[in-house]
C-alpha cells in the first residue's frame, strides 16, 4: 500500500512536470506576440487524451488519474487559448479546435449516454484511451528516423526525454500495482521510445559537440 502511494505521488509529480514543459512555448509566444515555430496539434491531442483519462478516472474513482488529468486539461486549455490568441492562422486553428470539441461531444454521447454503466463501459473507454495514448507515444518515430539519417540530436530535448521516461515508468508500475492493463500497457511504448532517444543522445552526442545545448521542443 505504501509503495502504491509512492507511485501515485510519482505519477502526479512527473506527469505534471511533463505537462508544464508547454510553459516554455507559452513564454515564447508572449515574448514574441506570435505563435510561429510553436506546434499546435500536440496541445490539442494532449488535451483530448487528458479528458479521456479524466473520465476513465472518474468512472474508476481513481483520485490520481482525476487529479493529474484535471491539471493537464487545464494547462493544455491555457496553451490552446494562448495559441489561438497569438496565431495568424486563426481559421485553421479554430476549425481544428471545433473538430476536437466534436470528438469530445461524440465520445461523451457514446460512453456516457449510449453505453450502459458497468464493466463494459469502463473497458471500452479504457481501450480507447489506451490506443490514443499509444498513438501519441509512437507518433515521433518518423522524427527519430530523421535524426538517425542526419546524425544530429539538435531537434531532441534531453530534459523532455527524461521527463517522458520517468512519467511512463511511473504509470506503468502504477498500472501494474493496480492490475489495470489499460493504464500499464499504453505507457510501455513511452519507456521504449525514451530509451531509443537516450541511445540517440549517446550515439550522436559527440557528433554535435559544437552545437549549442539541446532545444526544448516536443518530439
Q: Where are the domains of the chain?
A: 1-205
Rounded to two decimals, the pTM is 0.87
The predicted model gives 62-79 an average pLDDT of 97
**DSSP assignment of 57-87:** HHHHT-HHHHHHHHHHHHHHHHHHHHHHHH-
State how far the Cα of 195 lies from the Cα of 79, in Å rounded to an integer.
Answer: 28
pLDDT level of residue 215 (50, 70, 90 thresholds): very low
Chain length of the chain:
219
The predicted model gives 54-59 an average pLDDT of 96
pLDDT of res. 217? 36
Whole-angstrom CA distances from 85 to 7, 90, 205 are 37, 8, 37
If DSSP codes are grouped into helix, strand and coil, which group holds residue 27? helix
pLDDT of res. 110? 95
The predicted model gives 22-48 an average pLDDT of 91
The predicted model gives 131-136 an average pLDDT of 93
pLDDT of res. 92? 93
Long-range CB pairs of 114-121, under 8 A, 24+ apart, other chains included: 121/59
Amino acid at each position: 500500500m505504501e509503495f502504491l502511494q509512492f507511485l501515485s505521488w510519482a505519477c502526479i509529480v512527473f506527469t505534471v512536470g511533463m505537462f508544464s514543459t508547454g510553459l516554455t512555448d507559452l513564454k515564447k509566444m508572449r515574448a514574441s506576440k506570435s505563435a510561429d515555430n510553436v506546434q499546435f496539434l500536440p496541445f490539442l491531442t494532449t488535451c483530448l487524451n487528458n479528458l479521456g483519462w479524466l473520465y476513465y478516472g472518474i468512472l474508476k474513482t481513481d483520485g490520481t488519474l482525476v487529479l493529474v488529468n484535471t491539471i493537464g486539461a487545464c494547462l493544455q486549455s491555457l496553451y490552446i487559448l494562448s495559441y489561438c490568441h497569438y496565431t495568424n492562422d486563426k481559421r485553421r486553428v479554430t476549425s481544428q479546435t471545433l473538430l476536437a470539441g466534436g470528438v469530445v461531444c461524440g465520445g461523451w454521447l457514446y460512453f456516457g449516454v449510449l453505453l450502459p454503466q458497468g464493466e463494459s463501459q469502463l473497458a471500452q473507454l479504457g481501450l480507447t484511451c489506451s490506443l490514443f495514448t499509444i498513438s501519441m507515444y509512437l507518433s515521433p518515430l518518423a522524427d527519430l528516423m530523421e535524426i538517425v539519417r542526419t546524425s544530429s540530436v539538435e531537434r531532441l530535448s534531453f530534459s523532455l526525454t527524461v521527463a517522458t521516461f520517468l512519467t511512463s515508468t511511473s504509470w506503468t508500475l502504477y498500472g501494474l500495482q493496480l492490475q489495470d492493463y489499460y493504464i500499464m500497457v499504453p505507457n510501455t511504448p513511452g519507456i521504449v521510445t525514451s530509451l531509443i532517444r537516450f541511445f540517440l543522445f549517446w550515439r550522436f552526442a559527440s557528433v554535435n559537440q559544437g552545437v549549442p545545448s539541446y532545444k526544448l521542443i516536443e518530439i
